[in-house]
Amino acid sequence: MSGINDDIKLIDENGIRIDGRKADEMRPLKIEAGVLKRADGSAYLEWGKNKVIAAVYGPRECHPRHMQDPAKAIVQCRYNMMSFSVSDRKRPGPDRRSIEISKIISEALEYVVFTENFPRTSIDVYIEVLQANAGTRVAGLTAASVALADAGIPMKDLVPAVAVGKADGHVVLDLNKEEDNFGSADLPMAMIPRTGEVLLMQMDGHLTMEEFDKGIEYAKKACQEIYEIQKDALRRRYADQGGSDETDDEFSSIDEEA
């Protein structure tokens, strides 16, 4: 890889990246909520060439029993890449990387979910990466939070996530595969736009303080954008569900036989 490193030019003299984006431009993001019938909540997401599906089950009885918490629900997440999601077939099953990602995503989600409402239960989140092109953990988290809201789980806010990084000496938003492989830093992060709380942040490579600050600024702006797309996905799913005039909110609790 290092041999190609010098040959490939990630950003041209006009500041345009190899896929035609500007430094602070995101790949096109598309989210659809409620795509699976049997899951309590679900979301499908396409982010550039990334394709991710997320499903949420629960709150449901927590198994194994010893993991139950009598005071709150636990959020269990499984991030999984399909064997065909990358160009070299990925050996199926959890590996070091996907176990780590599962852990950080469940921790990010656990922070927003009102877990204390559902003692002794577990909320299970399954994230399947159908096609990967860098930034799947943030794509997975973005999809998972839409799926959680779709599942009717009470939570503080949706969680938009995005990666920033450094390629060819420039700070860039939302790295693609080439920038991720040949760039010099990768900084995925998740943030609640309203409060600015950071729920996930990891860094691979090196950034100076100035570059880091610039990256955070990019990410902040992008998170706001992603947040609106997430809400729009949910809104489209439930657009026609404003309730009809034929319903009584205070309906009789039991319907006796005629």
Partner 1 sequence: MSGEVSRQGREIVMPGDLLEGDNKLRPGTGTYVSDDKIYAALLGVKTIRSNYVNIIPLGGRYIPTVGDSVIGKVEDIGPSNWLIDINAPHPAPLHVNEVPWRVEFGDTARYMNVGDVILAKILMVDETMRFQVTLKDQGLRKLQGGQIVEISHSKVPRVIGKSGSMIQIIKNYTNCRIFVGQNGRIWLDGDVDGIMRAIKAIQMIEEGAQSFGLTEKVREYLESTSPQTVPNSE
Give the residues lining the site for partner 1 (CB under 8 A).
40-41, 58-61, 70-71, 112, 114, 118-121, 149-158, 192, 194-195, 231, 234-235, 238-249, 251-258
Q: Nearest distance from residue 75's CB to partner 1, in Å?
A: 14
Q: Nearest distance from residue 23's CB to partner 1, in Å?
A: 29
Q: Nearest distance from residue 181's CB to partner 1, in Å?
A: 35
For partner 1, the closer CB: 147 or 175: 147
For partner 1, the closer CB: 27 or 237: 237
**Inter-residue long-range contacts of 101-104, CB under 8 Å, 24+ positions, other chains counted:** 101/137, 101/140, 102/77, 102/78, 103/77, 104/137, 104/200, 104/202
For partner 1, the closer CB: 7 or 245: 245
For residue 43, give both structure tokens.
């979301």
For 86-99, b where at least 16 C-beta lie within 10 A, e where not — what string?
eeeebeeeeeeebe
Q: Nearest distance from residue 71's CB to partner 1, in Å?
A: 8
Neighbours of 245 (CB within 10 A): 4
Give the rounded distance of the alpha carbon of 31 from its chain centre: 11
Q: Nearest distance from residue 32's CB to partner 1, in Å?
A: 15
For partner 1, the closer CB: 209 or 239: 239
For residue 205, give both structure tokens.
């490579």
For partner 1, the closer CB: 37 or 96: 37
Instruction: Determine contact, residues 167/183, Cβ cutoff 8 Å.
Output: yes
Instruction: Determine contact, residues 75/123, Cβ cutoff 8 Å.
Output: yes
